[in-house]
């Protein structure tokens, strides 16, 4: 698919694919993979990991509230129809929040992997999904924090992703903290916070501050500094992340996401609405 | 509960059932964001001009946003309100930014604990104190911390949240109110046990034998259901597995109408007329 069909530049298209493979490579075989809803990048990454190096992972699919082994093709809001008939177990949100997640997050077994999408991130990796401006009278009301406050305060390791690396995203101070940052000491959680953006990978160091650990494609130091609201430390000899292989791209374009739903996450405003309309028209005709 | 109630026919019209909802009630809505939402029931509440409702929903979607847009809601408890891939929920966003909608900031855990505490008829359930590392407690003065009597650790008391009414849409029900939910279960079976009155709209009313043969069988016992309403398509444009897929074009049309002050009254009038 060309960038133009997706209403994206070719560089943004390539960055999006790079983010998916970077996330897939963070998945370990046997992981418990928690999906979001409409979070196409991590879901594509989970499917890619399952089809390559991590076939024994189980997905928690919120759309349908199911545990699901195996892989599926991404859909635009129709995941229930894929996951429910093939689920190994059917849960509700009380089970998930009082049994499944505490046993995994605090009990520590099996290994949990989930990628959340924040609206703001501060230098300690703390995040905000609640509001910009004061809570009682916000400038921008965001949809809400869902389970991020619950999970970020007890998990040892926490992942975020952000398809558009901007100064509005990486801010020196949050307007509201709904995701706990690194505690700044060797005690407390999370001990590692990793953020994957279109420009690179950012991970908390021993001092608890986010550092640049990997670059995506041709991102430069200047581009990262111009696009961030605070100054990152850099690990010595920052590597460029391994780009997607032809085989990985083929899996994404055929088995996992032939309609290119993952690219929706890189769009905003009118182009996103235009692309959604085109996809909805295809769905209605199907 | 007497045996008589186990065999009570609970079928009602939507208007008869919703007469139980009064201004100022705390109403729990079933389903999640764009999946198996009681949209027809929400439209009927809007048409009836209910006011000052407190809406409780794990994640609010189109049904919650339309109730806000129709002026029915004064307080909302949820941990997410939006239209997922379609974006922000227009009325929720506007009213929150105006400061004219009281939002009780929930998390997945706080709302789950609150509903479970109400079901257990205990004043609160203890939650680990870790949540204090976020700003949640600063906007939730009702979440009080206390020292665990066994370990001394700091815990949070999550108050019980009994509901006046729970409203769910089911994939199928029998005339006794037994429900097959399918799809997204969300907190639905637990809303019913935390509520004084539970109203179910169902895609279809079937025999108990037929219900038990469906995937998942009986997922909510009719014991907890006050009224069951035959309402095919009662979740549209949100999904109802396996009968209806999410109608994304319908959600996009809603989002456009709700974001526009001139189009909105027309959308609401047409939608309420269609479901009357």
Mutate to test the interface with A, among B65, B85, B190 (most CBs of A within 10 A): B85
Q: How many CB atoms lie within 10 A of CB A89?
A: 12
CB B203 within 8 A of CB B240: yes
CB atoms within 10 A of CB A256: 25
**Domain-embedded: residue A174:** no
Same domain, B193 and B218: yes
Q: Which positions in chain B touch A143 (Cβ < 8 Å)?
A: 80-82, 88-89
What DSSP line would sit under A155-193, residue for residue? -SEEEEEESS--TTTB-SS-SS--B----SSSSSS-SEE
Q: Give the minimum alpha-carbon distance from B229 to chain A in angstroms, rounded to a whole number.
A: 23
**Would you place residue B201 in the very low, low, confident or very high pLDDT band (cuts 50, 70, 90)?**
very high
Query: What integer pLDDT is reported at residue B5 of this predicted model?
Result: 54
Helices (H), chain B: 3-6, 14-18, 39-47, 62-69, 90-98, 108-120, 188-194, 208-213, 248-258, 263-275
Which chain B residues are within 8 Å of A148, Cβ to Cβ? 107
Cα separation, A144 vs B96, whole angstroms: 12
Between CA A121 and CA A119 the distance in angstroms is 7
Please name the residues in contact with B37: beta carbons below 8 A apart, sequence gap of 6 or more.
B29, B30, B31, B61, B62, B63, B169, B235, B238
B68 with B28, same domain: the answer is yes
User: Closest residue of B to A83, CA-based?
Assistant: B183
Name the token pair of A58: 């189980």
Number of cross-chain residue pairs from A and B with Cβ atoms under 8 Å apart: 169
Supply the range of the domain harboring residue A32.
Answer: 10-113+245-285
Please name the member of A80, A106, A188 whose beta carbon is closest to the beta carbon of B239.
Answer: A80
- Counted domains in chain A: 1
- Report yes or no on A32 lying in a domain: yes
Structure confidence at residue B4 as a pLDDT band (50, 70, 90):
very low
* Full residue range of the structural domain in which residue B133 is found: 124-159
**What is the rounded average pLDDT of the residues B111-121?**
98
- On whether both B170 and B254 belong to a single domain, the answer is yes
Residue owning tokens 């605090």? A106
Long-range contacts of A135-141 (CB under 8 A, 24+ apart): A135/A176, A135/B105, A135/B135, A135/B139, A136/B99, A137/B97, A137/B98, A137/B99, A138/A175, A138/B96, A138/B97, A139/B97, A140/B97, A141/B88, A141/B92, A141/B93, A141/B96, A141/B97
Residue among B32, B82, B242 minimizing CB distance to A143 = B82
CB contact under 8 A, B248 and A140: no
Same domain? For B89 and B119 the reply is: yes
What is the rounded distance in angstroms from the CA atom of residue B272 to the CA atom of residue B276?
Answer: 6
DSSP at B203: S
Contact B34, B238 (CB under 8 A): yes
Q: Is residue A224 part of a domain?
A: no
The token pair that represents A266 in the structure block: 């890189």
Instruction: Please tell me the distance from the alpha carbon of residue A94 to that of residue B112, in angstroms, as a whole number.
Output: 6
Shared domain check, B112 and B144 = no
Residues B98 and B182 occupy one common structural domain: yes
B85 and A143 within 8 Å at the Cβ level: the answer is no
Q: With contact defined as beta carbons under 8 Å apart, do A66 and A35 qualify? A: no
Summary mean pLDDT of chain A: 95
| A252 within a domain of the structure (yes/no) | yes
d(C-alpha B156, C-alpha B124), whole Å: 9
A141-164 pLDDT, tens digit per residue, is: 999 999 999 999 999 999 999 999
Span B209-228, average pLDDT: 96
Total domain count for chain B? 2
Q: Find which of B31, B108, B180 to mutate to test the A interface (most A CBs within 10 Å of its CB).
A: B108
Q: Say what the pLDDT of residue B6 is.
A: 57
Predicted confidence at residue B1, as pLDDT, reads 40
What would the mean pLDDT of A14-40 be, rounded to a whole number? 95
Residues B267 and B130 reside in one and the same domain: no
Which residues are bridge partners to A239 per DSSP?
Answer: A214
Q: Read off the pLDDT of residues B150-196 as tens digits, 9 standing for 90 and up.
A: 999 999 999 999 999 999 999 999 999 999 998 789 999 999 999 99
CA distances from A186 to A106, A189, A194, B232 (A): 17, 9, 16, 56
B window 140-179, beta carbon within 8 A of A: none
Residue A77 to residue B188, Cβ atoms within 8 A:
no
Residue B50 touches partner A, C-beta closer than 8 Å: no
Contact list in A for residue B215 (CB cut-off 8 A) is 84-85
Same domain, B131 and B115: no
Q: Is A215 inside any structural domain?
A: no
Q: Would you say residue B21 has pLDDT above 60?
A: yes
Do the domain assignments include residue A25?
Answer: yes
Model confidence over A215-255: pLDDT tens digits?
A: 999 899 999 999 999 999 999 999 999 999 999 999 999 99
Percentage of chain A surpassing pLDDT 70?
100
Q: Residue B237: is the preceding peptide bond cis (ω within 30°)? A: yes
Shared domain for B192 and B138, answered yes or no, is no
Chain A residues lying within 8 Å of B113, measured CB to CB: 97-98
**Test mutation, A91, A97, A175, chain B, max B CBs within 10 A:** A97
Asked if B87 reaches chain A (Cβ–Cβ under 8 Å), the answer is yes
Residues B49 and B147 in one domain: no
Which pLDDT band holds residue A2 (cuts at 50, 70, 90)?
confident
Looking at chain B from residue 204 to 233, which residues have their Cβ under 8 Å from any Cβ of chain A? 215-216
Whether residue A65 lies inside any domain: the answer is yes
Nearest Cα of chain B lies from the Cα of A48 at a distance, in angstroms, of: 22
Same domain, B128 and B178: no
Query: CA torsion, points B177, B178, B180, B184, in degrees to nearest 10?
Result: 70
CATH number, domain of B229, equals 3.40.1080.10
What's the rounded Cα separation, in Å, for the pair A154 and B260? 42
Percentage, residues of chain B above pLDDT 90: 95
pLDDT digits (tens, 9 = 90+) for A87-97: 888 899 999 99
Tokens describing residue B179? 């429900």
Cβ–Cβ below 8 Å for B78 and A150: no
Least CB–CB distance from A153: residue in B85, B134, B245: B134
For A163, phi then psi, to 5°, come to -70, -15
- Residue A166's pLDDT is 98
Contacts of A131 in chain B (CB under 8 A): 96
Nearest Cα of chain B lies from the Cα of A135 at a distance, in angstroms, of 8
Considering only CB atoms, which chain A residues are within 8 Å of B185?
65, 90-93
Domain assignment present for A57: yes
Residues B88, A120: Cα–Cα separation, whole Å: 17
Judge if B133 and B226 occupy the same domain. Answer: no
Contact predicate B239/B245, CB 8 Å: yes
């Amino acid at each position: 698919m060309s960038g133009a069909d997706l209403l994206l530049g070719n560089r943004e298209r390539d960055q999006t694919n790079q983010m998916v493979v970077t996330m897939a490579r963070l998945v370990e075989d046997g992981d418990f993979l928690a999906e979001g809803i409409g979070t196409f990048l991590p879901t594509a990454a989970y499917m890619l990991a399952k089809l390559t190096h991590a076939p024994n992972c189980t997905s928690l699919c919120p759309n349908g509230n199911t545990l699901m082994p195996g892989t599926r093709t991404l859909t635009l809001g129709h995941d229930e129809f894929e996951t429910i008939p093939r689920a190994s177990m059917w849960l509700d949100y009380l089970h998930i929040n009082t049994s499944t997640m505490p046993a995994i997050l605090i009990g520590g077994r099996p290994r949990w992997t989930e990628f959340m999408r924040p609206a703001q991130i501060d230098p300690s990796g703390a995040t905000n999904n609640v509001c910009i401006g004061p809570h009682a009278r916000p400038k921008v009301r965001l949809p809400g924090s869902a389970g991020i406050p619950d999970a970020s305060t007890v998990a040892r390791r926490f992942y975020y992703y952000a398809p558009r690396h901007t100064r509005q995203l990486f801010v020196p101070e949050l307007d509201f903290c709904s995701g706990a940052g690194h505690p700044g000491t060797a005690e407390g959680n999370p001990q590692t916070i990793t953020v994957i953006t279109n420009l690179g990978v950012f991970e908390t160091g021993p001092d608890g501050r986010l550092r640049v650990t990997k670059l995506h494609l041709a991102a430069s130091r200047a581009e990262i500094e111009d696009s961030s609201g605070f100054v990152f430390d850099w690990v010595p000899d920052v590597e460029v992340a391994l780009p997607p292989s032809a085989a990985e791209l083929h899996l994404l374009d055929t088995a996992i996401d032939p309609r290119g739903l993952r690219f929706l996450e890189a769009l905003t405003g009118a182009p996103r609405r235009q692309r959604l309309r085109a996809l909805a028209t295809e769905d209605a005709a199907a | 509960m007497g045996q008589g109630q186990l065999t009570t026919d609970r079928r009602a019209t939507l208007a008869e059932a919703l007469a139980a909802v009064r201004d100022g009630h705390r109403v729990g809505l079933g389903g999640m964001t764009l999946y198996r939402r009681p949209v027809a029931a929400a439209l009927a509440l809007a048409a009836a001009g209910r006011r000052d409702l407190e809406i409780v929903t794990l994640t609010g979607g189109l049904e919650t946003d339309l109730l806000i847009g129709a002026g029915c809601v004064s307080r909302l408890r949820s941990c997410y309100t939006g239209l997922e891939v379609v974006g922000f929920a227009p009325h929720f966003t506007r009213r929150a930014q105006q400061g004219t909608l009281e939002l009780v900031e929930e998390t997945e855990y706080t709302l789950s604990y609150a509903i479970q505490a109400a079901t257990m008829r205990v004043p609160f359930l203890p939650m680990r104190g870790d949540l204090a590392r976020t700003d949640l407690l600063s906007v939730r003065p009702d979440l009080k911390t206390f020292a665990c009597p066994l370990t001394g650790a700091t815990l949070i008391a999550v108050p019980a949240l009994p509901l006046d009414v729970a409203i769910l849409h089911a994939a199928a029900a029998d005339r006794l109110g037994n429900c097959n939910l399918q799809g997204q279960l969300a907190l639905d079976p637990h809303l019913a046990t935390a509520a004084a009155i539970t109203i179910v709209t169902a895609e279809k009313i079937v025999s108990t034998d037929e219900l038990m043969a469906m995937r998942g069988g009986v997922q909510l016992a009719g014991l907890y259901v006050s009224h069951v309403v035959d309402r095919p398509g009662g979740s549209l444009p949100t999904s109802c597995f396996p009968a209806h897929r999410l109608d994304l074009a319908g959600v996009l049309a809603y989002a456009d109408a709700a974001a526009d002050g001139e189009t909105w009254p027309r959308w609401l009038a047409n939608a309420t007329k269609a479901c009357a």
